[in-house]
Each structure stands twice: as structure tokens, then as C-alpha cells.
Amino acid sequence: MSMPATLYYSAEMVRNLPDDGNRYETVHGELLVSPSPGQPHQAVLLELTLVLGTYLKGERIKGLFSSPADISWGPDTLVQPDLFVAAAEEVGLSNGWAEIQTLHLAVEILRPSSMRADRFTKRRLYQEQRVATYWVVDIDHAQVEVWTPEALFPVVERERLVWRHPRATTECVVDLKELFAPS
């Protein structure tokens, strides 16, 4: 029995997909599709944006972004982290995303449709690309998996996250009880 040929997606192919409310990404040619996020996802994303934004502004560091943003490390890779901190020296070099190659922090907030991709496919990509810190935010279990490039397993945080930008003089602390508290 023969198997149908698998279609490998390039970053350019993904950029040309319809703007239909879904998020399209490709990692090493594998197409990843997720529908629009729900309210809990957006509430946590907004809170993390506020905490990280306040921290970075206090340190006078630019580079905090949320998706949609086409981060690509090759012709068969294009991802859109929910939230990320790019290297300040790569920010503002053009109107596009092509110059953004260094991420100090990438954040993905789990959804049922993205769990496998966020925990495995994208996590491995972020490790390959030496993203210094990768947070997998699990709202349902009120915890965050913290990954680094060398990690074989995550550090699972349930109380607080501590992160420091490489150019900062202080640390950013995220109280997870507050982050996951019902609104």
C-alpha cells in the first residue's frame, strides 16, 4: 500500500495562506494550525505583557512583542510566539520581522489545539535556535514550564517566575497565583 506524499510547507507558503482567523506556522516544513485563542488565553497574555512591559520599560529596554509576528530562522520555519522579547539591537532595523533572529524570551500559552506543537515541536525549535528562555504557560494546571537550550526536562514553576534580560540590572518576577487568579 502506498502512502500519499506529505506536503512540506515553506515559510513563504505559510505567509501566502488565507487570513482566516487561524494562526499558521511551519517548523521544519510541518504545518501547525491553531484557531483564534479564547478569553483565558488573552487575559493571561495581557497580564504577562503588562508585567514584562513594565519591567523592560523600567530597565529602558525595547523588544517586547506579541503575535502576529513572523519569526523565521530558515526557508522551512516560521513561528509566531504568543509573546517574545527580541534582542534590542535587532529591533527597528526594518518594518518587517526578518532581522529578528535572537529571542531572549519566548512565551507560548497552551490551548488544546497547540499543546503538542508548543511542548514538543516549537520547544525543540526554540532550543535549537538557542532561545535563552522559553515559557510554556499552562492555564489549566496553573503552572509554567521553563525551558532553556540545554534542558532535557523543564523546570515547572507554580508560585513565581523569575527572569532577567541579559542587559537588565534587576529581575522580573511574575506572581503565578496572581497571573492565574480568576478575573
Question: Taking the complete model, does pTM exceed 0.85, yes or no?
Answer: yes
Cell of 56: 523592560
* pLDDT per residue as tens, the chain (183 positions): 555 557 889 999 999 998 888 899 899 999 999 888 889 999 999 999 999 999 999 999 999 999 889 999 999 999 999 999 999 888 876 667 888 899 999 999 999 888 899 999 999 999 999 999 999 999 999 999 999 999 999 999 999 999 999 999 999 999 999 999 876
Nearest one of 72, 169, 53, 46 to 125, comparing CA atoms: 72
Nearest one of 34, 40, 31, 41 to 10, comparing CA atoms: 31
CATH architecture, domain 11-179: Alpha-Beta Complex (3.90)
Nearest one of 80, 148, 72, 78 to 109, comparing CA atoms: 80
- Cα–Cα distances (Å) from 122 to 53, 79, 119, 131, in that order, read 24, 8, 7, 11
CA quadruple 81, 114, 27, 166: dihedral sign: positive
- Cα–Cα distances (Å) from 78 to 49, 93, 112, 138, in that order, read 22, 19, 21, 23
